[in-house]
Amino acid sequence: MTQLALIKKAVTFINKKTKNFKPEIALITGSGLAGSVPALTQKVTIPYAAIPGFLRSTVPGHTGNLIFGVYKGRKIVVMQGRFHYYEGHPMKDLAISIRTLKMLGVEKLLVSAAVGSMDMKLKPGSLCVLKDHINFMCNNPLIGNHDPAFGPMFFDLTVAYDKEMRKVALAAAKKAHINAGEGVYLAVTGPNFETPSEIQMFKKWGATVVGMSVVPEVLVARQCGIAVLGLAWVTNLGCGISKTPLSHEETIRETKKIEGKFKDLLEILFVKL
């Protein structure tokens, strides 16, 4: 079965469950951030495992549900947990969920993630609103499975992250009393954290934060015409900058500290975007 046929099957299944609910905005929650989702009305929750063709999230802190609902009149869909290349999924399969969202009607995507910072102005608890990225995964989810239904094979990435949405996010962060700034996300495959030498190299390249996701989702979204806002929450300083060894447990602990702030931010963004 082609990926397009698989996605159409998933869309048909989801539409039956949601009675053809057409979401405007999608949110992907990063590690430990699933509890930040504002209260939604008309809520429908579908486990990833139930959706034909959908991958399964295996990482602690990624619940694995597709949640539909309404927040103050805006129709929302939440990916409560994401899929990572380091879990062993083929890179091309990371495109399935985003293309499914597009076919369900999504026009705007909010991508959140827990990241390590290389900028001392963005310490743990801070928000980095992404203005660009560097793909150091040495792979791309768009390779080898193109169909015109997914958008053009060759497309421009001058503005991968929507300028107006970034302005709204920075203003919302200020209103929510969140330390925030713009920056560049550098994507690595993981699952190991980076070495001190790698962190120093990434800084020289102009990267602000580093993580193991986001970029595959953004590439797929931009190909199919979805506007993207990247919200990277700093949970640690990069290796060699941090005075303590890094761990996923630390990531989860730090995201628990900012759950409330992220919820406040989302409540503003869901209305303003």
Degrees, nearest 5: CA angle 171-174-178: 130
Clarify whether 86 is annotated catalytic. Answer: yes
Clarify whether 85 is annotated catalytic. Answer: no
> Active site residue: 176, 187, 236, 254, which one?
236
> Active site residue: 146, 198, 201, 248, which one?
248
Clarify whether 91 is annotated catalytic. Answer: no
Q: How far apart are CA 241 and CA 250, in angstroms?
A: 15
Q: Helix or strand or coil: residue 23?
A: coil
- Contacts of residue 58, Cβ cutoff 8 Å, sequence gap at least 6: 87
> Active site residue: 213, 217, 227, 232, which one?
213
> Active site residue: 10, 95, 114, 232, which one?
114
Q: How far apart are CA 137 and CA 140, in angstroms?
A: 8
> Active site residue: 113, 187, 212, 227, which one?
212
Clarify whether 249 is annotated catalytic. Answer: no
Clarify whether 236 is annotated catalytic. Answer: yes
Clarify whether 197 is annotated catalytic. Answer: no
Q: How far apart are CA 142 and CA 144, in angstroms?
A: 6
Residue 27 β-bridge partners:
78, 110
Residue 234 β-bridge partners:
115
Clarify whether 84 is annotated catalytic. Answer: yes
Clarify whether 31 is annotated catalytic. Answer: yes
Single-letter amino acid code for the residue at 94: L
CB atoms within 10 A of CB 254: 18
Clarify whether 161 is annotated catalytic. Answer: no
For helices 3-18 and 95-104, angle between their N-to-C axes, nearest 10 degrees: 50
Degrees, nearest 5: CA angle 243-248-249: 85
Block residue for tokens 């053009």: 152
> Active site residue: 15, 86, 135, 267, which one?
86
> Active site residue: 26, 34, 62, 169, which one?
62
- Contacts of residue 187, Cβ cutoff 8 Å, sequence gap at least 6: 133, 134, 135, 136, 137, 210, 211, 212, 213, 214, 215, 216
> Active site residue: 10, 57, 84, 172, which one?
84
Clarify whether 71 is annotated catalytic. Answer: no
Look at strands 227-237 and 127-135 and give their pairing: antiparallel
> Active site residue: 24, 87, 107, 259, which one?
87
Catalytic annotation, residues: 31, 62, 84, 86-87, 114, 212-213, 236, 248
